[in-house]
């Protein structure tokens, strides 16, 4: 049981290049999230998804796009990378608890992708 797997683990891009970060989870979770983490800034939500085929913007969505064509995968795309997007990117997933308490359940994180843009 791998949990949440992120690929790649490291990447260096040049300004203007594009790339896609892949997140895969094998826990059959409904919810998936993409965060970025910068020193002193904590975790900032980029985009999230509450189910297959649905996505929504978080607090810092500009410059990123996402897709969730399959329940287990959540892709984060950078169309034209900028140095300000140098960061550590974390994917997380959680399940939907029903039956009277639709609370946000604990999030399971991947190991992160360290992205540098020159």
Partner 1 sequence: GQQVMQIPQYQHVQEGEDFTTYCNSSTTLSNIQWYKQRPGGHPVFLIQLVKSGEVKKQKRLTFQFGEAKKNSSLHITATQTTDVGTYFCAGQAGNNRKLIWGLGTSLAVNP
Residues 23-52 as x/- pattern, contact with partner 1 by CB under 8 A:
--------x-x------xxxxxx--x-x--
Contact between 89 and partner 1 per CB under 8 A: no
Contact between 61 and partner 1 per CB under 8 A: no
- Please list every residue from 2 through 21 that binds partner 1, using CB under 8 A: none
Q: Which of 14, 20, 36 is nearest to 82 (CA)?
A: 14
Query: Based on CB atoms, which residue is closest to partner 1, 41 or 82?
Result: 41
Q: Please say whether the beta carbons of 22 and 115 come within 8 A.
A: no
Q: Which of 93, 113, 112, 115 is nearest to 104 (CA)?
A: 93
Question: Distances from the Cα of 48 to the Cαs of 75, 100, 101, in angstroms?
Answer: 10, 23, 20
Q: How far is the CB of 106 from partner 1 (least distance, A)?
A: 4
Contact between 111 and partner 1 per CB under 8 A: yes
46, 75, 90, 117: which one contacts partner 1 (CB under 8 A)?
90
Interacting residues toward partner 1 by CB under 8 A = 31, 33, 40-45, 48, 50, 58, 90, 92, 102-112
């Amino acid at each position: 049981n791998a949990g949440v797997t992120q690929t790649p683990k490291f990447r260096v891009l040049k300004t203007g290049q594009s790339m896609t970060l892949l997140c895969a989870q094998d826990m059959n979770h409904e919810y998936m999230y993409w965060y970025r983490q910068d020193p002193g800034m904590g975790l900032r939500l980029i985009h999230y998804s509450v189910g297959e085929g649905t996505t929504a913007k978080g607090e810092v969505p500009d410059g990123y796009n996402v897709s969730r064509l399959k329940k287990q995968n959540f892709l984060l795309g950078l169309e034209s990378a900028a140095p300000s997007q140098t960061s550590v990117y974390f994917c997380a997933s959680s399940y939907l608890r029903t039956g009277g308490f639709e609370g946000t359940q604990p999030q399971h994180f991947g190991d992160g992708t360290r992205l540098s843009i020159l």
